[in-house]
A = this chain, B = another copy of it.
Amino acid sequence: MSEKVLRLPVKEYLEEIEVYEAGKPIELLVREYGVAPEDVVKLASNENPLGTSPLVKEAIIANAHRAHLYPDDSMYELKEALARKFGVEEEELIIGAGSDQVLSFVSQLLLEPGRSILTSRVSFAMYDIYASWYGADIVKSKSWRHLPEEFIPLIEEREPTIVYLCTPNNPTGDAMRVEDIEKIVESGNPEKTLFVIDGAYMEYAAAKNPEYAVSPSRFIERYPNLLYLGTFSKAYGLGGMRVGYGIARKELISALYKIRPPFNITTLSLAAALAALEDEAFVQESLKIHAQEIGRYEEFADRNGIEYIESSTNFISYLFGEDRESGKIARYLFERGVIIRDLSSYGINGVRITVGTPKQNDRLFEVLQEALS
């Protein structure tokens, strides 16, 4: 009676989709390699190396006794605070379990067999995965940058249902100028194409260069076919709490609401996100330390003859020549308790490293130097 094959009628286009490979958690290293948890240096998932704001910790502890109560599904307080921060109305906001969940909503709303998405050749893996969940085709630009000269002809020719502009881009780290974003968005037909600006790392890019700073309120005012995504997982230090948001015109937000499962944000995550918004000083401190430390990564690369992509995020991507293999280097580090992200599954012989605390970065340089020699 042991049947290895599922006999139920799975939808045809779901048969062969791929599963997202997440960054390796500390727990795995502890379990499988016996590294002590306190010795693990995790620079693989672009978490905030400073942790989270003390106000967030206080809010979590103060709300622990409310774990049995369903969250306020209207998310009134958090939406009000976000609306104030971005100068938009509450009806122009939707909150997801990570901005990732808002991606899944928009994919579900718009994608079906016969439709397509357009992304940069190398970009956030979930765009493709969600497209495959709904049977849509995936069109990619030729290079891994978001270049108007590559995107605009593809938009005019293919009329994709969703165009993803990941800025700054993950896993490459480069950001788009606002004027280039505008050029690309204006090339699309508002009745056929939605543009998603994924600003998961926008805080880092905006701090680096004002020409990269996207204003969601200005963009949604100008364009009816635009969705801006932001997250609490990076600069705000809440990667474990799963809170992100989408900003768009009311008509699109209310359509997305139709396919939002109730209670999609936990009671403690709502409290944590609200507290995180109240501690802008923590974010500024994170950005300041990051700006100091990323310079060390550039110096290390230069010193060791490693190419890198100039980064506008909290990570940096090192690109190796033919003499080196990114998978082997990542593995060498992993076995010594330093977790980084191998990019070979993206077709890049390189690694993505989250910029950590000064001490974490010291350790990374030490072990990476060994691996290179």
**A329 interface hit (Cβ, 8 Å):** no
> Cα distance A191–B73 when bound, in Å?
38
> Cα distance A251–B61 when bound, in Å?
40
User: Quick one: copies of this chain in the complex?
Assistant: 2
Inter-chain contact B258/A19, CB cutoff 8 Å: yes
Inter-chain contact B133/A263, CB cutoff 8 Å: no
Inter-chain contact A70/B240, CB cutoff 8 Å: yes
The prevalent SS among residues of A at the interface is loop
A70: chain B residues within 8 A (beta carbon) = 22-23, 25, 45, 47, 233, 239-240
Inter-chain contact B241/A67, CB cutoff 8 Å: yes
> Cα distance A190–B110 when bound, in Å?
32
The residue that A66 contacts in the complex, of B69, B111, B240, with Cβ under 8 A, is B240
Closest to A69 in B: B240
Closest to A190 in B: B7
A266 with B242, Cβ < 8 A, contacts A110-B10, A192-B9, A237-B68 known: yes
A56 with B52, Cβ < 8 A, contacts A261-B100, A266-B269 known: no
**A311 interface hit (Cβ, 8 Å):** no
**A211 interface hit (Cβ, 8 Å):** no
8 A Cβ contacts from A186-208 to B: 190-192, 194
CB distance from A17 to the nearest CB of B (A): 5
8 A Cβ contacts from A51-89 to B: 51-52, 56-57, 60-61, 64-74, 76-77
The listed residue with most B CB atoms (<10 A of its CB), out of A31, A101, A263, A269, is A263
**A98 interface hit (Cβ, 8 Å):** yes
CB distance from A268 to the nearest CB of B (A): 5
8 A Cβ contacts from A1-39 to B: 1, 3-11, 14, 17, 19-20, 22-23, 25-28, 31
CB distance from A197 to the nearest CB of B (A): 15
Inter-chain contact A11/B224, CB cutoff 8 Å: no
What's the interface size class on A, roughly?
35 or more
A66: chain B residues within 8 A (beta carbon) = 240
> Cα distance A27–B259 when bound, in Å?
24
**A272 interface hit (Cβ, 8 Å):** yes
**A109 interface hit (Cβ, 8 Å):** yes
What per-residue 1/0 map shows which CB atoms of A262-275 lie under 8 Å from chain B? 11101111001000
The residue that A27 contacts in the complex, of B14, B76, B252, with Cβ under 8 A, is B76
What per-residue 1/0 map shows which CB atoms of A145-173 lie under 8 Å from chain B? 00000000000000001000000000000
A42: chain B residues within 8 A (beta carbon) = 69
Inter-chain contact A191/B264, CB cutoff 8 Å: no
**A238 interface hit (Cβ, 8 Å):** yes
Q: Supply 13 A–B pairs (Cβ within 8 Å), ascending by A.
A: A3-B251, A9-B110, A11-B110, A25-B73, A26-B72, A27-B74, A50-B68, A52-B65, A60-B61, A67-B241, A68-B238, A69-B240, A104-B261
Inter-chain contact B74/A25, CB cutoff 8 Å: yes
Inter-chain contact A57/B47, CB cutoff 8 Å: no
**A144 interface hit (Cβ, 8 Å):** no
A111: chain B residues within 8 A (beta carbon) = 11
A68: chain B residues within 8 A (beta carbon) = 47-48, 50-52, 237-240
**A306 interface hit (Cβ, 8 Å):** no
Inter-chain contact A73/B240, CB cutoff 8 Å: no
The residue that A109 contacts in the complex, of B14, B20, B60, B72, with Cβ under 8 A, is B14
